[in-house]
C-alpha cells in the first residue's frame, strides 16, 4: 500500500477511511496515513492542516465507537476465533485484557497512542461492558488529542523538511528520527514485559464463551 500515493490522490478521504478502519479494528496504517498527510500539507500546502486534524479526530472517534458496539455484541468469541487472521493472537488478547481489566478508561485514552491497543481497545471496551458514556468521554478525549499531536507535529516537521538548507537543520532532523526510533524500541520492550504479566494473570487458554 503506497500511502503517499493515496494521500496525493484522495487527500482527506484517504485519511478518514484509513484512520476510521484502523480504529474500528482493521489493521491498516491509519496513523501512518495521518502523519503522511500532515507532512505533505506542511511541505506543499496542498491540504489544510486544520481539515486533516478534524477529519482524523472524527474518524478516530467514529471508528472506535463502531468497534465498541461490535465488541459489546460479539464479545471475545470473534477475536479468539478469528484474531489470527488480523495478526492478533491469544497472547496479544491477554495483554490487552490485562491492561483493560486494570486500567479501563486510561487504556481507551492512552491506547490511541499504542499501535496494538489503538486497533483493539474500543472492541475490548465493548466486550468488558464498559459504560458507554464513560467510554465515549475517554474515546473522544484520546481521539482529539492524538489527532492534534500527530497532525500538527508532522505538519511542522513537513515545513522544516521543505526548507532544509544547512547541516545543522539536517542534524536536527536526524536527532528527531533517532528519538522516534528509541521510543519504538522502548515500547516493544514494554510490550514484552506486559506479555509476561498477562500470561501470569491468565495462565489458561481464554474462553470464547
Instruction: Compute the C-alpha angle 182/194/145, nearest 5°.
Output: 60
pLDDT of residue 71: 82
Q: Is 113 helix (H, G, I), strand (E, B) or coil?
A: helix
Mean pLDDT of the chain: 77
**Is 7 inside a domain boundary?**
yes
> Alpha-carbon distance 35 to 160, whole Å?
14
> Alpha-carbon distance 80 to 69, whole Å?
17
pLDDT of residue 143: 92
**Is 157 inside a domain boundary?**
yes
**Is 47 inside a domain boundary?**
yes
Asked whether residue 8 carries a pLDDT value surpassing 90, the answer given is: no
pLDDT of residue 209: 47
Q: Which of 69, 66, 2, 47 is nearest to 29 (CA)?
A: 2
**Residue 180 neighbours by CB distance under 10 Å:** 9
Which of the two residues, 115 and 37, has the higher pLDDT score?
37
Burial class (CB in 10 A: 0-12, 13-18, 19+), 108: buried
Q: What is the pLDDT of residues 163-173, one digit of tens each?
A: 655 555 556 55
Q: Which residue stretches of the chain are H helix?
A: 3-10, 12-24, 30-44, 49-82, 90-103, 105-110, 115-127, 132-162, 167-201
Total number of domains constituting the chain: 1
pLDDT of residue 123: 83
Which of the two residues, 157 and 83, has the higher pLDDT score?
157
**Is 159 inside a domain boundary?**
yes
Which residue is it, cell 474462553? 207
> Alpha-carbon distance 28 to 9, whole Å?
18
List all residues 6 or more positions away from 143 whose beta carbon is below 8 Å from its beta carbon.
23, 57, 60, 61, 64, 112
**Is 209 inside a domain boundary?**
no
**Is 206 inside a domain boundary?**
no
Asked whether residue 183 carries a pLDDT value surpassing 60, the answer given is: no
Which residue is it, cell 487472521? 85
The residue segments making up the domain with residue 161 are 3-201
Asked whether residue 194 carries a pLDDT value surpassing 50, the answer given is: yes
**Is 50 inside a domain boundary?**
yes
**What's the average model confidence in pLDDT over 93-109?**
75
**What's the average model confidence in pLDDT over 1-27?**
87
Return the top range by mean pLDDT from 58-62, 187-191, 193-197, 202-206: 58-62
**Residue 28 neighbours by CB distance under 10 Å:** 18
**Is 18 inside a domain boundary?**
yes
Amino acid at each position: 500500500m503506497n500511502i503517499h500515493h493515496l494521500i496525493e490522490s484522495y487527500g482527506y478521504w484517504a485519511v478518514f477511511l484509513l484512520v476510521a478502519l484502523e480504529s474500528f479494528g482493521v489493521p491498516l496504517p491509519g496513523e501512518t496515513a495521518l502523519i503522511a498527510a500532515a507532512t505533505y500539507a506542511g511541505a506543499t500546502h496542498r491540504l489544510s492542516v486544520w481539515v486533516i486534524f478534524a477529519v482524523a479526530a472524527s474518524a478516530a472517534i467514529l471508528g472506535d465507537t463502531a468497534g465498541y458496539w461490535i465488541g459489546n455484541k460479539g464479545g471475545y468469541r470473534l477475536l479468539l476465533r478469528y484474531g489470527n487472521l488480523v495478526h492478533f493472537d491469544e497472547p496479544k488478547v491477554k495483554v490487552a485484557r490485562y491492561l483493560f481489566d486494570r486500567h479501563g478508561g486510561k487504556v481507551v485514552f492512552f491506547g490511541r497512542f499504542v499501535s496494538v491497543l489503538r486497533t483493539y481497545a474500543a472492541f475490548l471496551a465493548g466486550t468488558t461492558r464498559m459504560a458507554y458514556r464513560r467510554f465515549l468521554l475517554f474515546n473522544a478525549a484520546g481521539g482529539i488529542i492524538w489527532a492534534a499531536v500527530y497532525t500538527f507535529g508532522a505538519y511542522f516537521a513537513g515545513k522544516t523538511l521543505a526548507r532544509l538548507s544547512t547541516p545543522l537543520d539536517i542534524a536536527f532532523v536526524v536527532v528527531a528520527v533517532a528519538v522516534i526510533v528509541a521510543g519504538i524500541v522502548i515500547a516493544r520492550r514494554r510490550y514484552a514485559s506486559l506479555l509476561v504479566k498477562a500470561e501470569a494473570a491468565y495462565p489458561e487458554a481464554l474462553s470464547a464463551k
